Amino acid sequence: MEGVTTLVGQGLYMAVAAVVGLAIARILKRGNTLGCLIAGVLAGVLLPVLDYDTGLRAENIHQMVFFVILPVLIFESAWKIDPDVLFRWLGPILLFATLGVLICGLITAVLVYYGVHHPTGFPWIAALLTGAILAATDPVSIIARMRQSHANEELLTLVEGESLFNDAVAVVLFSFILGIASHSVMEGAVATGETVAGAGSFALYFSVLFFGGLAVGTLCGLLTAIVILFLGSAGAALVVLVLAAFGSFYLGEHVVGVSGILSVMVCAIVSRACLREQQETYLTHASPTWEWLGLLFNALIFVIMGLVITFEMFTDQWLAMIIAIVAAIGARGLAVFMLSPLARFVGPPIPQSWRLILSWGGLRGVIAVALVLSLPTELPYWWTVQSMVFGVVLFSLLVQGTTSARLIRKLGL
């Protein structure tokens, strides 16, 4: 019983910090993520004063992030997208989310590896991990500003849909590279960055996780819609949808062994598509619930980031942070402008102004933070990677997020 009360106390401490962060954001008139980050830093400063332990450990952050926080965030994002518009742009979205992620991750890895130029302390596998994490985009700030300014609905769907599929593929890529990195540690091959799998094994691994995740998500989405229609209650529908978010991830990731993120995402899209004829009965009631759940879990991620961020990151790793920022922005821009001309072969063409939004609006946020927080501390370079990712996320919040509204106005979108 004492363990339960301790866990509840720790959860309440972080939840209160999240609410304080929302208040700070309102006072400063900035994004909620920045306010929650500040609140997390303040909560961390108060810990020694209060003589309190949040219970956050490297070994439990991974489980909390992957099995509690990510399912809600992915389901909430997927639930908001109009399925009809999504299917229209599905070709370009998949193009950016597959080839785009691989190109962005690889370019980022090359730039940070040669930028840091420390093969023993920062081997290729560390650079590839960094590239995979920074390939995941989170354009929350720019989406909010675009909605406020009544931007083109199809552009909104393209930006949000690309980010959603992008995140799912980036998580698969991250999981694969992390498996190699963990194996390398056990085999004592960290210094040279030796790998145990080639391109063929990666292609097989990716195919199983990707298509398996799609299959599990489709089945879960259909089952979710059937159960909701059978129960015939708006209240029961909310219970089933929340259960579907956690259940589809757990089934895909832990039971079947495929991508849990893809399972959650497809489950949300399929269930919403099946229930669109009952818009007033189920969808209208579900949206507010997912809105506050998404807000809470987004806030908690940035509170945790604030709790673990340290001043030493900026004094010891400032150069690595700058290298990562330049690499992330450059790689994203190159990937977008390389692939945009190909979009017309798989779907509608992408206007030049939209490419600028996709490039500059590809902020790094909650998914990147969630992934880097889940890095095992057994990896000797984990702190360097975490510092670099935190640096890029801070740049996204303070620079890209705050200038995106001006870019939208200038482009007349």
**Could you tell me which CATH number the domain at 59-411 has?**
1.20.1530.20
Q: What does the pLDDT read at residue 279? A: 65
Report yes or no: 113 and 120 within 8 Å, Cβ to Cβ: no
pLDDT(248) > 80: yes
Comparing C-alpha atoms, which of 245, 243, 235, 225 is closest to residue 285? 235
Helices within 340-381 (DSSP H only) = 352-360, 366-373
For residues 48 and 23, the model is more confident at 23
- pLDDT 10s digits, 2-43: 567 766 777 788 889 899 999 999 998 877 888 888 998 898
The angle that helices 260-274 and 153-187 make with each other, rounded to 10 degrees, is 160
Mean pLDDT of 160-188: 78
- What the block records as the tokens of 235 is 């209240």
- What the block records as the tokens of 181 is 């990195």
The string of DSSP codes covering 155-179 is HHHHHHHHHHHHHHHHHHHHHHHHH
For residues 63 and 84, the model is more confident at 84
Q: How far is CA 49 from CA 166, 310, 396, in A?
A: 41, 17, 31
Report yes or no: 263 and 213 within 8 Å, Cβ to Cβ: yes
Q: Is the dihedral of CA 357, 176, 115, 122 positive or negative?
A: positive
Comparing C-alpha atoms, which of 285, 219, 284, 286 is closest to residue 258? 219
- pLDDT 10s digits, 147-159: 666 667 788 888 8
- pLDDT 10s digits, 268-324: 999 988 887 776 666 677 777 888 888 888 888 888 888 888 888 888 889 999 999
**What are the φ and ψ backbone dihedral angles of 124, each rounded to 5 degrees?**
-55, -40
Q: What does the pLDDT read at residue 189? A: 41
**Which residues of the chain form CATH 1.20.1530.20?**
59-411
Comparing C-alpha atoms, which of 20, 72, 54, 6 is closest to residue 289? 72
pTM of the model: 0.83
Report yes or no: 37 and 397 within 8 Å, Cβ to Cβ: yes
- What the block records as the tokens of 78 is 């997927």
Mean pLDDT of 384-388: 93
Mean pLDDT over the full length of the chain: 83
Q: Residue 161, Cβ neighbours under 10 Å: how many? A: 26
- What the block records as the tokens of 339 is 């692939």
